[in-house]
Amino acid sequence: MNVYDSGKIAACLVRLGYQQTGMLEIADLVIVNTCTIRAKAEQKAFSFLGRLARLKTKKPGLIIGVGGCVAQQEGEKILRRVPQVDLVFGTQAIERLSLLIPKIEDKRCRIVDVGLMEKPDLPDAVPDRLIDDPVSAFVTIMRGCDNFCTYCVVPHVRGREASRHPDRIIKEIGDLVQSGVKEVTLLGQNVNSYGKKEGLCSFANLLSRVNSIDGLLRIRFTTSHPKDFGSDVIKAFKTYEKVCDHIHLPVQSGSDRILDRMNRKYTRALYLDKISELRDNCSAIAITSDIIVGFPGETEADFAETLDLINTIQFDGLFAFVYSDRPNAPAVHFKNKISEDEKRKRLQAVLALQENVTRMKNQALVGSVQPILVEGVSQKQSSGRCKRPLTTAQWTGRTPTNKIVNFYHTDSRQRRADIFPGKIVRTRIEEAYAHSLWGEPVGLKSTTGGLKGEESYAA
């Protein structure tokens, strides 16, 4: 979501006459778009602001802005903590940036704009944005969250849930496709409740409309909340050919007691039922999830249930986090906090368990042919074990199940014409690593060792 917002911020700055630079030292204005989901993200934001403050002592004209969730949460405290900061703008203030920045340029005043409306009018007042990735783009379909999980800061810094009108979403995706984008990821804190509050269409209906956009090849979405994840969306994986076979379905814990204390509003059994229904409907589906370890009061027995759930489900990938207290989240006041040492131990146990599962899942793909949406040239080798030379012709892309595949394609002019970002290339998987796969394009006449004479590409 921050990537999406950053694109809007950048577009606004370009309209004000700024140009993008990759060199911090020569910038006249720097905006830090922050995240506060965990304590570490907030620490990173402040450490970067420290670096900018030092830069400003050498270049007093530099304008420093802080946006995003840390800005929303801390407001004018940021001006006191980092006196070099000129502008603090909250999560609903992006649309006002084009007014705020000229004021700072003219008057050299310091501004804080962190108003949060109960019923945000989801303006598309900043309709355009700059995108870094020419192939795949994020599209925010809703903002905020009404769920109030007890560990989570999001409802406090992003405000109440509000969905964008489907016509605006379809128009935005249509424009992206016109500019060459092939894949979109629809974003919301709980996409399954899309449109319900406003009486717009359901999320499954929105998927159906996005699916019919000509020229778009792939649709992804995140995040799904298990409590609202219904059969209509489960069926969408089968019904709509562009919806990729991957779901990110955060479970957070395998213990009903902890799920209840987290206010997640589902049980372990219900989660397992959704997984079965998913796999019954779409056997190829890849399932990933989020886990929080060391939630206040999480006993050894609760944690054992989480490990058991991970073992039972065999996720394709997991994001695991140690619990951290967040401002205004009720769990701050929960008793029986878990020590940092114990949280680290539990995190390691989850990661070690999952690493084996991921490796096995990746290994099982060796020999299969996968359609890869080419994203670009890979900057680094996929694994230390891979002995292939680093070359500008090492490409990278993803399977529909969201697994990264790197592949080699020799660098001659004729061969380069076969593969380019946005192309779907069929690739035979040859090697599996912990976080990626190695493949060989099949059916490209000029490729090294590939199959000859096949149709080259399939979407």
Q: Which is nearer to ligand SF4, 7 or 144 (CB)?
A: 144
Among ligand SF4, ligand SAH, none, the one that 323 touches (CB under a kind-dependent 5 to 8 A) is: ligand SAH
Among 13, 52, 87, 151, binds ligand SAH (CB under 6 A): 151
Residue 169's beta-bridge partner residues? none
Q: Is 303 in the site for ligand SAH (CB under 6 A)?
A: no
Among 152, 219, 372, 437, binds ligand SAH (CB under 6 A): 152
Neighbours of 387 (CB within 10 A): 7
| Only segment of 2-10, 161-169, 322-330, 364-372 that touches ligand SAH (CB under 6 A) | 322-330
Binding-site ranges for ligand SF4 (CB under 6 A) = 145, 147-149, 152, 154-155, 189-190, 225
Q: Among residues 350, 176, 366, which one has the least CA distance to residue 251?
A: 350
Q: Which is nearer to ligand SF4, 195 or 371 (CB)?
A: 195
Min dist. Cβ of residue 150 to ligand SAH (A): 9
Among 158, 242, 326, 423, binds ligand SAH (CB under 6 A): 326
Q: Is 189 in the site for ligand SAH (CB under 6 A)?
A: yes
| Only segment of 87-95, 194-202, 317-325, 422-430 that touches ligand SAH (CB under 6 A) | 317-325
Q: Among residues 64, 61, 99, 62, which one has the least CA distance to residue 79?
A: 64
Among 33, 136, 140, 324, binds ligand SAH (CB under 6 A): 324
Euclidean distance between CA atoms 294 and 302, whole angstroms: 10
Q: Is 323 in the site for ligand SAH (CB under 6 A)?
A: yes
Residue 221's beta-bridge partner residues? 186
DSSP E strand boundaries for 323-452: 369-377, 394-398, 404-408, 424-432, 437-441
Q: Is 72 in the site for ligand SAH (CB under 6 A)?
A: no
Q: Is 143 in the site for ligand SAH (CB under 6 A)?
A: no
Min dist. Cβ of residue 88 to ligand SAH (A): 22
Min dist. Cβ of residue 354 to ligand SF4 (A): 20
Label residues 36-66 b or e (16+ Cβ within 10 Å = b).
bbbeebbeebbeebeebbebbeeeeebbbbb
Asked if 245 contacts 288 with a C-beta cutoff of 8 angstroms, the reply is no
* 190-249 binders of ligand SAH (CB under 6 A): 190, 223, 225
Angle at which helices 203-211 and 231-239 cross, to 10° = 10
Among ligand SF4, ligand SAH, none, the one that 38 touches (CB under a kind-dependent 5 to 8 A) is: ligand SAH
Beta carbons within 8 Å of 147's beta carbon, 6+ residues apart = 155, 189, 190, 225, 263, 265
Beta carbons within 8 Å of 376's beta carbon, 6+ residues apart = 135, 395, 396, 421
